[in-house]
A and B are shown apart, each in its own frame.
Chain A
């Protein structure tokens, strides 16, 4: 048996639930043993990933344009956008924290959005690529996704902790919800992307 032989090329697929090996017949097939849906590759992987990705991209705009939180001190507060918060942190000489926020809140989601788009495009247009490297990228995207929730966690903790009535109060802005949605949607997008598709397109494996 050659190493580069895939189950798909053998006309076989495996039930995800019970591990039963089945011959590929149709896209809408069920496992004869446990009746769960069968698919050689994640069904509609490209479509679903694209849908999640486009949703994420659309929400990424309000997440950055609108204020993510309002810090009220003595009844007077001003809303901060993500970028505004970073600039404020730099002004307050807290560069490391500013860098952390920059990476977690802007660069990581952006990297995920761009990375997933590239993955989708490469599959769709059958680009001849270094599939091994791209798989590494996919793994990073899938892993790093949850860490973008850092900002949301911080805000949700702060909103609860810093609630001193008139003295100081933190109110989450509309961007917080949009940002959380971006993170969740990109996580779903990564989940729905089937990295095996990267390999299927490669002619010389």
Chain B
């Protein structure tokens, strides 16, 4: 078979164009390569550091879905969640954006944002739909790639202008991080955190006051617990103070400035303040300077409480801060050291000696005979207070003082004195020869008994006499009735006779009583 057969028709020759075509098409794969390479490069170059965060639980966290956000801008994504080897926490691995590297320092805080509904407000509502996310609060510091997540979100999420202060209180009550702080009713800050002091005798609250208001925190600024409602009755009537509505529900802290302070008196950050229980307490004068002394009482301190007042001639100068019990292991003596806080600023010193300190003054007063005494404040409740007064003749009794405070000499209290004299009286009574007395009394009684028998006989005779008298009287009445009726004589005689009859019946009663109780002649009539 011949491949080439003559065509059955005339085909014309093609026109020839010598131009060589460059295959531009090959630019296309090049472009595709560039585009792909660029995309890959972009992804790789945007890949930031990988961090791990330890959380107590992975509640709401999902691999590849949970974001890490700062100020609601996404800066990372959770790529893995695993349980730690200790089986108590989870480790979340997250891929961060490239720019986020500098935020990741050892001071950076991370926490999970979930919807929160509280009295203070609603937050994280967006997470209801979108699921939880991890929020970050960057802070300058050293580079760090492993973090421990906070279980509770920090109250201040962003870096707000303001100052932090410390409030000291003994009871946190209903306050919690987030509790508002108001100034003349304006919410100006909140509680950030609370911490129990090392010796657990008070609680330190860290509070944050926003920027324009932090300058009102001055030397004499007073903080108090604003419980919402403050109801008090006095001679003026019923007084009602209310705080903001939120503090009605959740409690709050309020503060006010003192007229003594000037603008320049604003205090630096982390200054400590006392937190008063209520508004009234905060208005009381507070003496910053205190001197602690110890007083040893050898008597019972029942009724003496911590915070019991210390009065100098009736004027409060301090309070009891501590009451202890000591037993001397060697001698077996019991001592009660009472620590007392004296506020020397309450006492105005006239004729002031510049070179004398408070301690010198106290020593001087003690030398003059100033002594402490326990006195009864209320006989009903038995509350005791410590009274200071001058007893120039009294001796100073010292004890083995291990409290570290200066010892203040004491005297037995007035109650103690009464007890002592009563004791002496009772002792005297107990020394009386009671047995001998009682036998003698017995003998006397026997004699009395025989006398009373004789008396009864006499009385019996008297009774016979009385009957005779009665007869005589009756006959006399007959005589009298003959007298003219209505005459004064008759009336008087009638009266006389009536009285005589009463006398006779009394005598009869007496006789009867004596018959039953002959001893009443000696002892008198017994009450029924």
Contacts and interface: CB of A to CB of B under 8 A. Distances in A.
A178 B35 contact: yes
Interface in B4-28: 4-5, 7, 9, 11-21, 23, 25-26, 28
B130 A75 contact: yes
B11 A23 contact: yes
Contacts, number: 116
A9 to B, nearest CB: 5
Contacts of B18: 28
A191 B221 CA distance: 86
Given A10-B7, A11-B4, A76-B130, A44 B23 contact: yes
B12 A32 contact: yes
A74 interface: yes
Contacts of A48: 23, 25
B39 A29 contact: no
Interface in A1-57: 1-2, 5, 9-13, 20-26, 28-32, 35, 38, 43-44, 47-48, 51-52, 54-56
A54 B32 contact: yes
Contact of B130 (A1, A43, A58, A73): A73
A47 B27 CA distance: 12
A185 interface: yes
Contact of A47 (B1, B12, B25): B25
A58 B36 contact: yes
A54 to B, nearest CB: 4
Interface string B464-499: 000000000000000000000000000000000000
Contacts of B43: 65-66
A74 B129 contact: yes
B358 interface: no
Given A28-B16, A54-B29, A75-B130, A9 B4 contact: yes
A115 interface: no
A26 B14 CA distance: 8
A45 B65 CA distance: 47
A62 interface: yes
A17 B25 CA distance: 23
B33 interface: yes
B322 to A, nearest CB: 58
A174 interface: yes
A59 B23 contact: no
B3 interface: yes
A20 B11 CA distance: 9
Task: Kindly name the residue among A30, A35, A47, A58 whose own CB sees the greatest number of chain B CB atoms within 10 A.
Answer: A58
Kindly state the interface size class of chain A when it binds its partner: 35 or more
B69 to A, nearest CB: 9
B16 A26 contact: yes
Contacts of A99: none
B167 to A, nearest CB: 38
Contacts of B36: 58-59, 61-62, 178
Contacts of A54: 29, 32
Contacts of B64: 78
A75 B7 CA distance: 74
B5 A66 contact: no
Contacts of A174: 39
B28 A55 contact: yes
B319 interface: no
B14 A38 contact: yes
Nearest to B131: A76
Given A11-B4, A174-B39, A74 B14 contact: no
A89 interface: no
Nearest to B125: A74
Given A10-B4, A55-B32, A76 B126 contact: yes
B9 A21 contact: yes
B11 A12 contact: yes
B426 interface: no
A189 B341 CA distance: 98
A51 B35 CA distance: 15
B164 interface: no
B130 A55 contact: no
B31 interface: yes
A23 B10 CA distance: 9
B134 to A, nearest CB: 13
B1 A2 contact: yes
B356 to A, nearest CB: 73
B158 interface: no
B441 interface: no
A165 B380 CA distance: 76
A29 B13 CA distance: 9
A181 B32 contact: yes
B114 interface: no
B28 A32 contact: no
Nearest to B39: A62
A48 B7 CA distance: 32
Nearest to B1: A2
Contact of A24 (B3, B5, B14, B65): B14
Contacts of B131: 76
Interface in B261-285: none
A9 B7 CA distance: 11
A25 B14 contact: yes
B150 interface: no
B40 interface: yes
Given A31-B14, A74-B129, A52 B25 contact: yes
Nearest to A10: B7
A59 B25 contact: no
Contacts of A21: 9, 11
B67 interface: yes
B31 A31 contact: no
Given A23-B12, A76-B126, A47 B28 contact: no
B4 A62 contact: no
Given A32-B15, A61-B36, 7 more contacts: A23-B13, A28-B18, A44-B23, A73-B130, A76-B126, A78-B65, A178-B36
Interface of B: 1, 3-5, 7, 9, 11-21, 23, 25-26, 28-29, 31-33, 35-36, 39-40, 43, 64-65, 67, 126, 129-131, 133
3 closest pairs, A vs B, by CB? A29-B14, A76-B130, A55-B32
23 contacts: A21-B9, A21-B11, A22-B12, A22-B13, A22-B14, A23-B14, A25-B16, A28-B17, A32-B14, A44-B23, A47-B26, A51-B28, A52-B28, A54-B32, A55-B28, A55-B31, A55-B32, A59-B35, A62-B39, A73-B129, A174-B39, A178-B35, A181-B32
Interface of A: 1-2, 5, 9-13, 20-26, 28-32, 35, 38, 43-44, 47-48, 51-52, 54-56, 58-59, 61-62, 65-66, 73-76, 78, 174, 178, 181, 185
